[in-house]
Each structure stands twice: as C-alpha cells, then as structure tokens.
Amino acid sequence: MAKKRSGSGGANWMDTYGDMVTLLLCFFVMLYSMSQMDQSKWIALVQALNPTADIHGTTTEVPPDGSVVTQEKIDSDMEEFYESMMEFVAQENLTSKVSVTKGSGYVFISFDDTVFFDGDSYILRDDGKVVLDQVSEFIAGVSDSVDEIRVLGHTAQARADQPNSVETDRFLASNRATVVTIYLQEKNIVDPARLVSVGYGQWRPISSNATAAERAGNRRVELLVTGLDVENEMGDDITQYYTMRAGGDSGETTTTTWSSGQEVQETTQAQTDAGQEG
C-alpha cells in the first residue's frame, strides 16, 4: 500500500496575508487621521519636535504681555488711531495737506508730498520727520492690533500732454515710499515684515494733470494701516496673501474732509486694496 503523504503546511500563507492586510489597514487609518488633523494639533506636534520652529501661516497673534488680542480690541485700537490722527492734523493746521480716511478694518492717510519732501527730491525734510515721529507714536500705541503698514508713493505728470520719463518717475515714487518706510522701521513700532513700500509713479492720479493745483494734488505719499482679523483662520492678512494669494474685501469707508474750516463726513463704499485708493 502506498504511504499517505503528510500535509505540506500550505495553509500557512493565510498568516502572512492576514498580517499584510492588518498593516495596510493601520497605514490607511494613519493617513486618514493625518488628513483630518486639526491645525492647532499640527502646530503642537511640530513645536514639540522642534521648539524653535517658526510655523509660517499658522501663528496666532499674541502681544508681548501674553494677553489675547480680540476683534473688539482691534476695532477699538483702529478707532483710537484714527481719532488721534484726526486730532493731530487739526491741531497742526495740516488739514489742507493731510486727509484721514477710516474704513472697515483700516485707516488711510494721504499726505501732500510737500509734507515730507522738496520738489523732485526723496530726502526727508526735518519738519516731515516731526510729522512721522507723531504718526509713529500713534501707531506704537496700537501696534498689537496692526496687521500691515503700506506706504504708497505717487508722482504727477510734469506736463498734461506728455508722460514723465519712466525711470525718473518710477524711481522718485519708489524712493519716496522707501524712505518713509525705512524711517518707520527705524522707530521699531511694528515687525519689519509688516512694513511694505510701493511706488505707483504717475499712474494712480486722484485728479487730472491739467493745472498746477491738480498736479500738486497727485504728488502724494499715502499710508494704509490695516488691522488684524482674528476671525481669519489663516492668522492674518499677510500670511493669507502669501499662502492663498487672496484678494481684498470691500468695506464701508468714512472720509473726513474740511470745507471752509468745517469738518464734513461722508460714507462711501471703498475697497481696502491700496490700489483703489489712489
């Protein structure tokens, strides 16, 4: 009689297969959990692994004293800055050379170029430094609520029927904006990353260039001071720009001007984007 063959143990492959399936299941569960990880948990994990890590785009704005900046505080600070600028402009009799505009989350200040510079120059005048010193003091008082300070330089056509030299025009506008930005940065009122200078040249006029008075009005330096948005899940507007390339929102604008010595306020819709202001 033939000898019965013993089993070859062929069923052992099930053990290996079961182990592989279990490992795959664990792997996909881990991937799913990572995709659903809360942003704050991710920050905590990275900082636990590297305490010195700078997590761009996920930081929370906290002032040096450790207090939490609320939206109410930010709105209050922006209002305080606006009121301080208004009072300063009135006291120094600068109403014909400086206008102050308040909008949703920002304060916009337009300076006649003669406040800071002589004609065709980008060297700060001494009396212009005095004005910037006061502006810096006001900003320093609300710096915890400031998202960005954007300095905008503008020129005007020398002749109504002929554009300026491209190089001269761009250099003058950019240099003026840069000089003001550097002066503010040296005051250490905000993080330098929140200071931006832009030179528009002659291309963002607020009136025609037909007369000398209109051309003088187009020569200006502007400051757009925006407040933080604590409800923005990206942290702040600067981070949002560099991570999402998102555009600005529209907001209600309150503009204050003077007519025959009387203060007049009007409300309009304006975009917070600085380009629309010019």
Residue 113 per-residue DSSP state: G
User: Is 57 domain-assigned?
Assistant: no
What pLDDT does residue 254 have? 45
User: Is 111 domain-assigned?
Assistant: yes
What crossing angle do the helices spanning 126-141 and 71-91 adopt, rounded to 10°?
Answer: 150
Predicted model pTM: 0.61
User: Is 190 domain-assigned?
Assistant: yes
Domain count, the chain: 1
Task: Please say if the pLDDT value at position 46 is more than 80.
Answer: no
User: Is 13 domain-assigned?
Assistant: no
Average pLDDT over residues 171-193: 95
pLDDT in tens, 203-223: 888 888 788 888 888 889 999
* Cα separation of the two ends of the chain: 106
User: Is 183 domain-assigned?
Assistant: yes
User: Is 23 domain-assigned?
Assistant: no
Number of H helices, E strands in the chain: 8, 7
- Residue 112's CATH number: 3.30.1330.60
